[in-house]
Structure 1
Amino acid sequence: MKSPKKVYLENLNKTFITTGNDKVVAVNNINLKIKPGEFATMLGPSGCGKTTTLRMIAGFEMPTQGKVYIGEENVATKTPDKRDTAMVFQNYALFPHMNVFNNIAYGLKIQKRPKSEIKERVQRILKMMKMEDFSERVPGQMSGGQQQRVSLARALVMEPGVLLFDEPLSNLDAKLRIHMRDEIRKIQQNVGITSIYVTHDQEEAMAMSDKVIIMNAGVIEQEGTPQEIYQRPVNEFVANFIGRANIIDGEIEGISGKDAIVNIHGISYRTKAYKNFQTGQKIRAVIRPEGVIVGKQDFIVKVEKSVFMGQNQEYGVDFFGANLEISENNPTGKTIYRAGEQMGIGFEERALHIL
């Protein structure tokens, strides 16, 4: 395999003109750097611009303005075949009349590679994918997961500098999706290839990525590691889009070093301040359901929902007129509160993040 390449998007913009001659800005002046060998996932709701961005990197869409660097080269005006990329598609895009070997070899044949080289590279990829026994099968004789593996092998055999994924697992059932996401991540790490992955599945993004890029309405809301995105969202959109979030009101009671003292309905909590706050400033904070401590007596709340989920007990409680979600891990042997009962709760200080 060749050395992985960096990807750098500079002031990238894409505007579509509708049939009614209206302008729709799909991607709005974004800037993004992806390191060589990094697995980056673009995540966001439908229509946020993630797929359009991926297609501009691949060359299937031309930018209205801006630059697309793959390595040191600006490829913004080049066709897909002139870019050092390969795409793994949602619908596999395999040739139904060709066997696995010929599907994987197709791109190399188009490049007019020597037969001996084609055979060696295809066999090497088949071995890597643990699919040596499938080389003579046609797509119709394989499961969805097997077909997706062939689609990935066909992309990898081209030895691209950058590998692109367009929601590749969305056609698979839940159990197979989990298996395939682990397989893709393991192969990507073994090969060390720069990968850009598009999905609307939050768990997929969290499980696979070095970097998660949250998009909304054509702009990047936040980028960072899965931990940063989950634990330190920059705004309510990100907090609500990644996992479950309780947004609560509070006030800055004081500043102590790099920490802020937050007053929430009369109870003080000390947490890390990631911005400059002023004493007396009204704030909103996010606390994840698992960051609420059941049994603490900071607040006495009424249980409105109590659901046993095996490894967790899920609660919904009335918190000063708003619904607060709680997820208590490993409820075995613990007091289980029922709907209508009173329950004491508090917040884990370091899990409280000021927006």
Structure 2
Amino acid sequence: MRGVGIAMKKYRIGLIGLGGMSHSHIRWMAEEGRFAIIAVSDVNEAALTEKGEQLGISPDKRYGDFVQLINDPDVDAVVSVTPNNVHADIVRACLQAGKPYLAEKPFTRIFEEAAELLELYEQHPVNGMVGYSYRYTPAFRYARELVREGKLGKVRSFAIQYLQDWGAVPNQTPYIWRFNKDITGTGTLGDLGSHMIDMARFLFGEFKELSALMRTLIPERPDPATGQMVKIEVDDFVSFQARMSGDEVGIFQSSRNAIGSGNQHEVSIYGDAGTLHASTLNPDQIVWIREEAPDQLARAVINVPERCRVTQYGDFLSLLDGTASESLPGFMDGYRNQEIIDAVIRASEEKRTIVI
């Protein structure tokens, strides 16, 4: 049990990135009750002023340069909610400053950035967390518990998919930063696929080999500023198959063009003693199919136990308190994830199986 001093400590947070996703992070921090945002940073001066006023941040704690925020001695820890092209720079600055952080996924834009960070991390290890938020979906946490306890017997195979529909043709989605390769590195793969990769590692351990297919389904989109069509150089769709460290074989599929799939991230696990389904569509329950008697299958919908209800920011608190859980996604989880993203890209481009 945590000591009273630790339990009551409030951490002074520097928030980098004040776009749409920052609203959720601000709410999540407020719900925990032990975070105080005391500094903010953004390249957009209007957003910096508006959010600074809303949060009651003094003007001298509103930074156009995130490095100045990270180096602010009043900031205990950093929360970064930015586009992919600055992920590596922010983590690098946190490592150099010795400042704990929670950074968004994907870990970096390209693998070369991750490799450079690893070299620095090995010299200057700093507590950090990467935002693989679906580790905190109760159904997925319970699935992991059942797999680890052997309740499904030997797991032979699994299927993971993450589907959204905001990029589909009927939505007439224009060209935005998520389609800009210079900013994102990849499209669906880094955005949604990074969560699938992390879920596989969370459930089954490390990847051993994989093959892949990446496609750009919609080749151009209109630039809202000019009306001109812009060529899309990142993937709209990715699929890959892999073998994991325990010889489990898995199929992965992700698309932002799946009409009717608002935010459909799910896993099906097939073991000798049964099948298990877990999904964001029903985050508080799992479906368990198993043999109840010879030639008689039972299908049960099971409520997730309370112990599986852990929040991302609750886990971030455990990291800051020095009591981090073994399931917390840290620096090496981010690095390994980017390593697999790179393997998927190479497998698709070279049309061959990549051994990890």
Task: Judge same fold: TM > 0.5, yes or no.
Answer: no
Instruction: Compute the TM-score of the two structures, normalised by the length of structure 1.
Output: 0.25
Answer with 1 or 2: which has the greater Rg.
Answer: 1
Higher helix share: 2
